[in-house]
Structure 1
Amino acid sequence: MSDPDASTPAGTPALDDETLAFARRMFDLARAGDPELLAQVDAGLPANLTNGEGSTLLLLAVYHGRDDLAQGLLERGADAQRINDRGQTALAAAAFRGSTRIARSLLDAGADPRAGSPDALETARFFEQHEVLTLLASRAD
């Protein structure tokens, strides 16, 4: 089984082992909510670094409930609208988790509640996240 954080898109030069290990570590920091990731972004790491599945640091942070880290990534220019290769968005991840706070921040940063598949509205409805659903519905369209 391949490592989703280690693959490169077709036509992209292969990365050396040291670079791949560093990238894997950055995605692990996003999942863990480690503020070291923000220091790395401040030092030049792209805020929109994307793994082999198209998931950004932001999407992983939100999915794993790391709202403070996600907020920091947004403040550093992370794209709130990115959709990964599976059709998932950070806003749908916030809906899944029931995080009204980060959902609001993502909406303020331009996230579309109808983007992705399933979209954030569908996700909030399915997981019965009523507070998030109300917020998303107020910003849809």
Structure 2
Amino acid sequence: MKFYGSTVRTLSVIAAFAVLLMLAGCGASGNKETLKFSEVSLNSEPSPPAAGKASKLIAAIDNDKFAAEEATVQFQINSKNDLPSLIDAVKEGNGYTSDYTFPSAGEYTITIHLMYPNDHFAFTKQLRVGE
């Protein structure tokens, strides 16, 4: 297939335009602030929680932008011994809390789901529950 000068120039302009669009898209998303794993902590009251007794799960947000913004937050609670649970949390100060009674002692994996209007973050933390 033989290309003529004007066709090659047209294809070159289209390719250059496509590259500029891709670079512009990358630049715009590069400035977007994100929430980091280290900026979300999981605590409980009492600490450590005890099996069969009421406790409070606390997800603290150590990022001014995301702490000030309203989010829908859920705790996903998993363990090897019990069925998983998904519970809603309410905003308190710079974090979110929820009451929960752990059915048994052991290691729990808790995923904190933070759903903001334009972002969704999920951070998995470990929590040991005593007897």
Relative to the length of structure 2, the TM-score reads 0.25
Larger radius of gyration: 2
Of structures 1 and 2, the one scoring higher in RCO (CA 8 A, sep 6+) is: 2
Relative to total residues, which structure has the larger strand share, 1 or 2? 2
